[in-house]
Amino acid sequence: MQSSPVTKYRPFPPVNLPDRQWPNRVIDRAPQWCSVDLRDGNQALPQPMNIEEKLELFALLVKIGFKEIEVGFPSASQIEFDFCRRLIDENRIPADVTIQILCQCREELIVRSLEALRGAKNVIFHLYNSTSPKQRAYVFGASKADIVGIAVTAISWLKQHGRALIEAGTRLRLEYSPESFTSTELEFALEICEAVTDAWQPTVTDKIILNLPATVEYATPNVHADQIEWMCRHLTRRDATIVSLHTHNDRGTGVAATELSLLAGADRVEGTLFGNGERTGNLDLVIVALNLYTQGVHPGLDFSDINQIREAYERCTRLDVHVRHPYAGELVFTAFSGSHQDAIKKSMPHQQPGRPWDVLYIPIDPADIGRSYKAIIRINSQSGKGGVAYVLENEFGYQLPKLMHREIGRIINDLADAMGTELQSSEIHDVFVREYLDPREPLRLDHCQSTERDGQVTCEAKITYRGQPLAIKGQGNGPIDAFSRALAAAGVPAFELLSYSEHSLGRGADTSAISYIQIKDSRGHTFFGAGTNTSIELASLKALVSAINRALK
């Protein structure tokens, strides 16, 4: 970092709006919602969703209650085009749901997008082009007039080529985004939005959507609210315009910027479930919707089973919802502080049916979103990997590697599901011991001795492998490497060592060591093992034997 004073960066200029009204307002109704999970969210995934995963996520969004869903960029790739067609051809779009597609201001892309939409009942055609000074100078080398011309020409192409779609029965609406709105001069943002509106000719009953995106978040949330209020005041066809928000989270304040901009007059919000998106992410629709709910405003979206929504999201996107995510995180309704636990427990008896929720430290009744409050973590089939790891660490001292959490969590959850009951912490410990520390089949380490000379370690061991006692010997750059080579020479299936960690257990004279080792077998499957002993070296070798036994099992 640059030492003070910082000259490398400049503060974002404020908006001259001395009579701003938004600070005195409250949000008393839900905005129009539009999910962009299937387009903006999907493009930010390390591994984009395939069509089947997109279909599952689309069905989830419909179930939650979204009436506007951006389904893709059909002119950008075949998979995007095909997904759009499947939604239409297989009648997967409910009559009250509008699909939205994104398109650049180019004639051939507009034509291709309209082909993807053939047969759809309700469509929002989302056109955009970049408008900020740096985009004009660095990327396009274009003047303001050039940028306005790009947008207006695109509107004429859409009207021309979209006529057949409208005549066939499709309700075609326009959304326009001046990309990088927040870093565009307000006067120019207004100029291009007015030019687009003039070209489209919306009415009070058939409004245009002007989406004013914080494509990159540069300023504090109050500045964004000022920008939105300024635009709402100056639009000449405000009654024929839906002002839409699309905030990103580069400063970590996307939710705040959206909420303040709703106070400033915006009508509509675009975002994704749990905030997935480019860089630090899009607006988190779950947080904004449930924030409204805690203020007595129903969002019009159904998050009454947040666990199921989270699981489906994680399955489709291969992303994890953070354990501290507001409302949906595994641990957000679990108090670890003793004083917090006590205050919550003392609040609970004061709650009366029909009276406002008023429990200390918990701003929403977990039951409203299908969750429950646990003062002490208990484990059942719905528990997360973090809860299992917490019990093993805090009650028994096992500091499991983070990558091991999912493995042991799955084992415990499968058992709880099979038993149909809650597991006590002692039962969790018993499962860990049986699964990782006790198994001695098909491989058992009976004796081991290692010596080091000239940087090479020689390991001599006695093992029992598939019932046959063997004496083995190997050399390597350390005890684990030498033991691994000795096992390979004895015919134990090959494996790759992926990770190793260890820590002490207990204190004083009773201190022992526990090691954790992760291996990958020839099929590419990974397994953890654990071993304990007063000798850290022997604990490590026992952990390796544990991992191999689990792989062979």
**What pLDDT digit, counting tens, does each position of 14-72 carry?**
999 999 999 999 999 999 999 999 999 999 999 999 999 999 999 999 999 999 999 99
Whether residue 543 sits in one domain with residue 497: yes
Mean pLDDT score of the chain: 92
22 located within any domain: no
Question: Is a pLDDT exceeding 90 seen at residue 387?
Answer: no
Whether residue 508 sits in one domain with residue 471: yes
pLDDT given for residue 382 in this prediction:
52
pLDDT given for residue 336 in this prediction:
61
pLDDT given for residue 338 in this prediction:
53
244 located within any domain: yes
Q: Which helix (H) or strand (E) holds 395?
A: helix 385-396
pLDDT given for residue 384 in this prediction:
52
| Bridge-based pairing state of the strands 512-521 and 526-533 | antiparallel
Whether residue 128 sits in one domain with residue 47: yes
Structural domain count, the chain: 3
**Dihedral of CA 488/491/492/496: which sign?**
positive
418 located within any domain: yes
Whether residue 285 sits in one domain with residue 206: yes
pLDDT given for residue 379 in this prediction:
53
* Tens-place pLDDT, residues 449-476: 999 988 899 999 999 999 999 999 999 9
- Band (477; pLDDT cuts 50, 70, 90): very high
Whether residue 193 sits in one domain with residue 126: yes
Q: Which one of 227, 260, 295 terminates a domain? A: 295
471 located within any domain: yes
Q: Nearest to residue 265, comparing CAs of 302, 294, 300, 225?
A: 225
pLDDT given for residue 423 in this prediction:
76
156 φ, ψ to 5°?
-65, -40
Average pLDDT over residues 537-542: 94
* Tens-place pLDDT, residues 249-304: 999 999 999 999 999 999 999 999 999 999 999 999 999 999 999 999 999 999 99
Question: Is a pLDDT exceeding 50 seen at residue 536?
Answer: yes
306 located within any domain: no
Sheet holding 468-476, edge to edge: 443-453, 456-465, 468-476
Average pLDDT over residues 365-375: 81
Average pLDDT over residues 355-359: 91
72 located within any domain: yes
The strand pairing partners of 271, in sequence order, are 35
What share of the chain in percent tops pLDDT 90?
81
Whether residue 124 sits in one domain with residue 53: yes
* Tens-place pLDDT, residues 101-142: 999 999 999 999 999 999 999 999 999 999 999 999 999 899
Q: Which one of 295, 319, 350 terminates a domain? A: 295
CATH number, domain of 468, equals: 3.30.160.270
CATH number, domain of 231, equals: 3.20.20.70
Average pLDDT over residues 385-406: 82
In 10 A of CB 338, how many CB atoms? 9
Whether residue 423 sits in one domain with residue 456: no
**pTM, entire model:** 0.71
Whether residue 429 sits in one domain with residue 448: no
6 located within any domain: no
Question: Is a pLDDT exceeding 80 seen at residue 388?
Answer: no
Q: Which residues contact 495 (CB under 8 A, 6 or more apart)?
A: 484, 519, 520, 521, 522, 547, 548, 551
pLDDT given for residue 416 in this prediction:
79
Whether residue 461 sits in one domain with residue 360: no
What 8-state DSSP symbol labels residue 359? B
* Tens-place pLDDT, residues 190-217: 999 999 999 999 999 999 999 999 999 9
Q: Nearest to residue 303, comparing CAs of 279, 331, 333, 326?
A: 326
307 φ, ψ to 5°?
-65, -45
Whether residue 224 sits in one domain with residue 244: yes
Question: Is a pLDDT exceeding 80 seen at residue 341?
Answer: no
pLDDT given for residue 375 in this prediction:
45
Whether residue 391 sits in one domain with residue 255: no
**Domain limits at 342?**
338-433
pLDDT given for residue 424 in this prediction:
80
pLDDT given for residue 418 in this prediction:
84
E-strand stretches of 347-436: none
Q: Which one of 433, 462, 487 terminates a domain? A: 433
132 located within any domain: yes
Whether residue 207 sits in one domain with residue 160: yes
- Band (373; pLDDT cuts 50, 70, 90): low
